[in-house]
Amino acid sequence: MNGGNGDGDLRIGVYVCHCGINIASMVDVEKVAERAAAMPHVVVARDYKYMCSDPGQQMIAQDVRNHRLNRIVVAACSPLLHEKTFRGAVERAGLNPFFFHMANIREHDAWVHENRDEATTKAIDLIRAAVRRVGHHKALERRTVSINPNVLVVGGGIAGIHAALKIADAGRRVYLVERELSIGGHMAKFDKTFPTLDCAACILTPKMSQVKDHPNITLWTYSEVAGVEGFVGNFKAKIRRKPRYIDEETCVGCLECIEACIFKEGKFPDEYNEGLSKRKPMYIPFPQAVPQVTAIDPETCLHFKTGKCKQPCVSVCDRKAIDFDQKERIEEIEVGAIVIGTGFQTFNPTDRLPQYGYKILDNVYTALEVERLVNSSGPTGGEVVLRDGSRPRAVGILHCIGSRDTKTNIWCSRVCCMYSLKLAHLVHERTKAEVYNFYIDMRAPGKGYEEFYNRLLEEGVHFIRGKVGGVTDWAMVPEEEGRLVIRVEDTLGGFVRRVPVDMVVLSTGLEPRADADDVRRTFNISCSTEGFFLERHPKLAPVETASDGIYLAGCCQAPKDIPDTVAQAGAAAAEALALIDRGEVELEPNTAYIDADECSGCKSCLSLCPYNAISFIEEKKKAEINEALCKGCGTCVAACPSGSIIQNLFEDDEIFSEIAEVLSDV
Amino acid sequence: MQYVYYPGCSLKGTGRAYEESVLAVFDKLGIQLAELEDWNCCGATAYMSVDEHRSFALAARNLALAERQAPDTAMVVPCSGCYLTLNKTCHIVKDYPEIAQEVKTALDRAGLEWKNRVEVRHPLDILVQDLGLDTIRQAVVRPLKGLKVAPYYGCQIVRPYSTFDHQIYPTSMDHLLEALGATVMHYPLKTKCCGGSMTGTVPEVGKRLSYILLNEAKKREADLMATVCPLCQFNLDAYARDAAHAYGPVNMPVVYFTQLMGLAFGLSAKQVGLQRNIVSAMGSLKKFCSTGAAGAAATAK
Amino acid sequence: MSDREFEPRIVAFFCSWCTYTAADLAGVSRMKYASNIRIIRLMCSGRVDPQFIMDAFARGADGVLIGGCHPGDCHYISGNYKCLRRFHLLKRMLSDLGIEENRLRLEWISAAEGDKVKRVVNEMVQQVRALGPLDLPGRFGEWDKEVRELDARIQQEHDAGPCEAHAVKESQA
């Protein structure tokens, strides 16, 4: 093919994209194309409405044929967005796909500047740099590596459960790793789900059982991902399996050991019930836990604390499943793709918003605590009662606690309005109490959500528009004596109210988990400013991350409700399957190599490579790079004193020509 | 540890017990306070409401003097009013260049320079953050066992700047009083208004606000209230009789937190100025007061 | 120079994973910053060869900005640390050459920090504008001229012999 091997004279085509008006409104694209046409070796320069469209791409192919082009420059959006697209177009036109370079005149130019002349000049500079650079481009071959078909799913909440099941159903092996003793996540704590009020346990527990029984799923609870190495298609993960002191294979979940425990009554806060009830050191997190295996909490177990327990649990277990000597284990697995569904934490109002009296005033609860109170398997058997056992006559539900507030979290947590409505309904139904919702705005954007809000209005729940200022037990008038008083500016009424109630529910928002930053580092992905994991593109790649082969599902990416979480988990599963079904993956050919003739054997590069890809060949007294190990960072290239290391796609000549041309227009 | 000490007018007048107890307690803890030489009015209330800019200039003079007297040393300001005015001046001058220029002009004429570097800090902040509760606990010789205290912070040390504690529900004094062995009540009005200068200008409003605070402490069966502010103490102490006359009997002594610290450290009632209270606190504090030799020895030391 | 305010020219080397992506984010978020900057994409800040920086200055850049991932976040584990080391060494050299410190800047900017790209670019443009043109190409011209003159004088001294050389020096003084 003409020019396909890059021989002969340079014949360059330059294409300037309008991107509708995105670029054209700030950059004089006609002028840019005109100037480009006059640049050295440029044979054709055109501007076009949408270069990424089919006609745009075909235009390149046609010009390659008609004008015997052998290098292509497209000035459009960011290469991170469309480099792949245009390399494809160049390849289809019969050229090596790497005889191409992209100038970013949208994200780095049109969108960030306000002066048309300046933006136009900048576009010309960037194109001149690209034109000179592309002349140095070489024909490159993409390396392909095979993809390991197994998938690691991190987090066993509804997101991880759903993704794991989808992938396993497609016939692929899934490792599902959950930090807690049981899968189920936050959803397992809920009583009902909005807006349909179907029972959370009824829809979740069957899926949890499926996970346990699925032949393609390896479930590791009470385990964490300790480290991940490798790259798309070829990850190696280390899983730390913490000791629960019960042999999972042997335990049948008869729960006799709990009964037998030396502690006759529960004595320690039960995490699953948000500390509203007590459990023993020998326990199972909740009745439907998966796996149905007990665990020993070494922090409270008498044996671990004193070594002086009679161990009635051991004597009662005829399967001999109890193992006080169990140690932490590390499992090493190889997977091709990873789905992260590590979830969220609820905002803790204790120190950050003490004005609402949480942990100061007895009957101030968080919404998650009330979820447990209304749950029939909860600490009160589904009775909504105050700490003294009495029934509340009036309940105030305070929206946006730790949401939409510059002092705490600025974002809307998306689920609080709806779960507040659900709790209002349930509390009203169970107690016949007067229920007051204090809201900033009611947000009910979802199928059946607005209808649910209307239903609550008709059920006689009160809605007061205003962000609550504080909750106090200071009685200003005798009627307030002994009650909690909610102080709020009623922004519809235009005055300040004091509303006495017996129970306050704080609708706390969703935020990134405290260790999200560690998790992010483990997987080498990014967080957005507020700390949720960053998707590759907010619209078009919402479950992908910047790291190929790692996908996001659920609230670790941003707050969302159960339907959205399940949808996203399905999407993440589909992405993972699409990747591994390809069987192999093409790698960017940006690896480095050493020109043996030039190498002086100084060994400067050896210690720089984080992947140990460089070795020293003693007999030749030269360094050599193992291409399969090289990830293409270029650190060794920059350090080589003899200039004998070359990085494909980022050769010195290519960079120097960019530097020269962005500065040449004096 | 050493600090510049800015007393302000209150601590030399109605709040003398505050000065006496602050100086005694800091001395006992080995923290050196050097009174700011030639200090003037902080620029509070009256100035601030009539001519803000002059008020900033007044405050700035004190800050400039502090930087000259002891560079890079924080200034301790026990009076909440002074604390706020001085802090506010630092903030405003940082944020508004034109005001900064006016202040500079004023200081230039007095031959002073202020780089806005001196930190303005409250003794509570210094005791809890710099010294630490452990050190305070170690200094306690007579724990305030069984003394039920309502902690009252007033508004100005936490609002609007809240540099060392939460602006609506501060807890540093709670922890400090607990370290002394006292029982700290849940007191929901800890940052509510004491009446401020309204006790003087609109007495019926001021008195009522004072009464609400006193009455709530009484309802919660506190032995006394502890405060950090000379104006709060003055309002709640001096107007207690008027308030009781208007709204009903309430007998609630109000003392400075530093007075309680002094007693717990073994100082005598007199050394911390307890005799200056109008509503006597001796009823509940007598058992913690050292008499005779012990107290005298402490002073002599 | 024209009457117009001096507009510095800044060349930036951004790593593809963090800072280049952050600059994309600044664009997507339509943040506005000074147009004086020309960004060159590299895979890692570890690829920034000090020669790139010297070359940029030599070709007329008034400032050079390097952007990499935050410490601990490098996509290639430690490329940004390598960059940091080189940066410090080069800074020393630049100051020996009389190139002001603020003309070279290294910033850690994560993929989420579009606003930081905006802030850093604006700050840097302002600082470099205050420093005025570096104009190394122009200075090279002057330096070349000086060297030529020096050469000429040495030649002259050489031709004239030792005594006359002394006289030349005297007359110059």
* Cα–Cα distances in angstroms (integers) from residue C60 to residues A666, C56, C101, in the given order: 9, 6, 16
C32 lies in the same domain as C93: yes
Give me the mean pLDDT over the A536-562 stretch.
Answer: 93
Nearest to A354 among B166, B189, B216 (CB): B166
In a domain? residue C66: yes
Residue B91 confidence (pLDDT) above 80? yes
C28 lies in the same domain as C57: yes
Summarize pLDDT for A332-345 with one digit per residue, the tens.
999 999 999 999 99
Q: Which two tokens stand for residue A202?
A: 């009824």
A534 CA to chain B: closest CA distance, Å? 32
Closest CA to A562 of A200, A278, A215: A200
Probe site for chain A from B155, B162, B165, B169 (most A CB atoms < 10 A): B169
- CATH architecture classification, A591-647: 2-Layer Sandwich (3.30)
Residue C4 confidence (pLDDT) above 70? no
What domain range is C148 assigned to?
135-173
Domain A345-511 listed as CATH 3.30.70.141: no
Residue A93 confidence (pLDDT) above 70? yes
B43 lies in the same domain as B137: no
In a domain? residue C5: no
One-letter amino acid of C123: E
CATH number of the domain to which B215 belongs: 3.40.50.11810
B104 lies in the same domain as B204: no
Chain Cα centroid distance, residue A497: 41
More confident residue, C158 or A532: A532
Do chains B and C have 3 or more beta-carbon pairs under 8 angstroms?
no
Q: What percent of chain A has pLDDT over 90?
A: 93
Closest CA to A551 of A162, A142, A88: A162
pLDDT value at residue C173: 42
In a domain? residue C73: yes
B152 lies in the same domain as B295: yes
d(CA A66, CA A61): 9
B169 lies in the same domain as B289: yes
**pLDDT category of residue C37 using cuts at 50, 70 and 90:** very high
pLDDT value at residue C164: 53
Give me the mean pLDDT over the A121-137 stretch.
Answer: 97
Residue A564 buriedness (CB in 10 A; 0-12 / 13-18 / 19+):
middle
Contact A659 C35 (CB under 8 A): no
Per-domain boundaries in chain A: 7-142, 256-316, 345-511, 591-647
More confident residue, A1 or A620: A620
C47 lies in the same domain as C99: yes
In a domain? residue B191: yes
Nearest to A546 among C9, C77, C111 (CB): C111
One-letter amino acid of C34: A
CATH number of the domain to which B89 belongs: 1.20.1050.140
In a domain? residue C1: no
pLDDT value at residue A3: 40
Q: What percent of chain B has pLDDT over 90?
A: 88
Residue A666 confidence (pLDDT) above 70? no
One-letter amino acid of B219: K
Subunits adjacent to chain B (3 or more Cβ pairs under 8 Å) = A
Give me the mean pLDDT over the B81-87 stretch.
Answer: 96
Q: ipTM value, please give it.
A: 0.88
In a domain? residue C55: yes
CATH number of the domain to which C121 belongs: 3.40.50
Contact B188 A355 (CB under 8 A): no
Contact A470 B166 (CB under 8 A): no
B283 lies in the same domain as B153: yes
Q: Model pTM greater than 0.95?
A: no
B160 lies in the same domain as B216: yes
pLDDT value at residue A550: 97
Judged by DSSP in three states, A318 sits in coil
pLDDT value at residue A392: 97
Contact A546 C110 (CB under 8 A): no
Q: What angle do CA B139, B144, B147 make, to 5 degrees?
A: 155
Do chains A and B have 3 or more beta-carbon pairs under 8 angstroms?
yes
Summarize pLDDT for A583-608 with one digit per residue, the tens.
999 888 999 999 999 999 999 999 99
Give me the mean pLDDT over the B132-136 stretch.
Answer: 97
Chain Cα centroid distance, residue C157: 38
Nearest to A354 among B168, B189, B216 (CB): B168
One-letter amino acid of A476: M
In a domain? residue C110: yes
Residue A610 buriedness (CB in 10 A; 0-12 / 13-18 / 19+):
middle
Helix or strand holding residue A213 (H, E): helix A200-213
How many Å is the Cα radius of gyration of chain A? Answer: 31
* Cα–Cα distances in angstroms (integers) from residue A318 to residues A251, A254, A282, B76, in the given order: 10, 11, 16, 70
pLDDT value at residue B48: 81
**pLDDT category of residue C51 using cuts at 50, 70 and 90:** very high
A7-142 shares its CATH topology with A345-511:
no
Contact A610 C35 (CB under 8 A): no
pLDDT value at residue B136: 97
Q: Which two tokens stand for residue A22?
A: 């995105």
Strands B183-184 and B120-121: unpaired
d(CA B61, CA B58): 5
B140 lies in the same domain as B75: no
Q: What single string gives the DSSP state of each residue in C106-145? A: EEE--TT-HHHHHHHHHHHHHHHHHH----HHHHHHHHHH
Domain A7-142 listed as CATH 1.10.3470: no
pLDDT value at residue A363: 97
Q: Would you call A126 an interface residue with chain C, using a CB distance cutoff of 8 Å? A: yes
The answer to whether the CB of A419 falls within 8 A of the CB of A510 is no
d(CA A357, CA A349): 9
Give me the mean pLDDT over the A498-512 stretch.
Answer: 98
The answer to whether the CB of C99 falls within 8 A of the CB of C137 is no
Average pLDDT, chain A: 95
| HEC letters along A373-385 | HHCCCCCCCCCCC
Summarize pLDDT for C97-125 with one digit per residue, the tens.
889 999 999 999 998 899 999 999 999 99
B144 lies in the same domain as B291: yes
Summarize pLDDT for A357-385 with one digit per residue, the tens.
999 999 999 999 999 999 988 999 999 99
Rounded to the nearest 5°, which phi and psi values hold at C107? -130, 140
Of the listed ranges A109-123, B279-293, C57-71, the least confidently predicted one is B279-293
Q: Would you call A662 an interface residue with chain C, using a CB distance cutoff of 8 Å? A: yes
Give me the mean pLDDT over the C62-83 stretch.
Answer: 92
> How many of the other CB atoms lie within 10 Å of CB of A273?
24
pLDDT value at residue C162: 61
Q: Which two tokens stand for residue C153?
A: 């004088």
The answer to whether the CB of C65 falls within 8 A of the CB of C107 is yes
- Residue B171: its chain A contacts at CB < 8 A? 354
The answer to whether the CB of B223 falls within 8 A of the CB of B144 is no
Q: Would you call B169 an interface residue with chain A, using a CB distance cutoff of 8 Å? A: yes
In a domain? residue C98: yes
Subunits adjacent to chain A (3 or more Cβ pairs under 8 Å) = B, C
C16 lies in the same domain as C99: yes
What domain range is B7 assigned to?
2-121
Contact B169 A473 (CB under 8 A): no
In a domain? residue B128: no
Q: Would you call B189 an interface residue with chain A, using a CB distance cutoff of 8 Å? A: yes
In a domain? residue C100: yes
Q: Would you call A472 an interface residue with chain B, using a CB distance cutoff of 8 Å? A: yes
C80 lies in the same domain as C159: no
In a domain? residue B126: no
> How many of the other CB atoms lie within 10 Å of CB of A99?
27
d(CA C88, CA A163): 47
In a domain? residue B127: no
Nearest to B168 among A351, A470, A473 (CB): A470
Whether the upstream peptide bond of residue B160 has omega within 30° of 0, thus cis, is: yes
Give me the mean pLDDT over the A130-152 stretch.
Answer: 95
The answer to whether the CB of C96 falls within 8 A of the CB of C151 is no
Q: DSSP 3-state helix, strand, coil percentages of chain A (rounded to 5)?
A: 30, 25, 45
Q: What angle do CA A646, A648, A649 make, to 5 degrees?
A: 125
Q: Report H helices in A68-179.
A: 79-92, 116-134, 158-169
Contact A360 B169 (CB under 8 A): yes
Summarize pLDDT for A30-87 with one digit per residue, the tens.
999 999 999 999 999 999 999 999 999 999 999 999 999 999 999 999 999 999 999 9
Whether the upstream peptide bond of residue A291 has omega within 30° of 0, thus cis, is: yes
- Residue C76: its chain A contacts at CB < 8 A? 610, 631, 633, 635
**pLDDT category of residue C73 using cuts at 50, 70 and 90:** confident
Do chains C and A have 3 or more beta-carbon pairs under 8 angstroms?
yes
What does the longest C-alpha to C-alpha distance in chain B come to? Answer: 59
pLDDT value at residue C166: 54
Domain count for chain B, please give it: 2
d(CA C3, CA C153): 38
d(CA C78, CA A578): 32
d(CA A24, CA A11): 26
Residue C169 buriedness (CB in 10 A; 0-12 / 13-18 / 19+):
exposed
Of the listed ranges A273-282, A505-514, A532-541, the least confidently predicted one is A532-541
B98 lies in the same domain as B214: no
d(CA B252, CA B229): 16
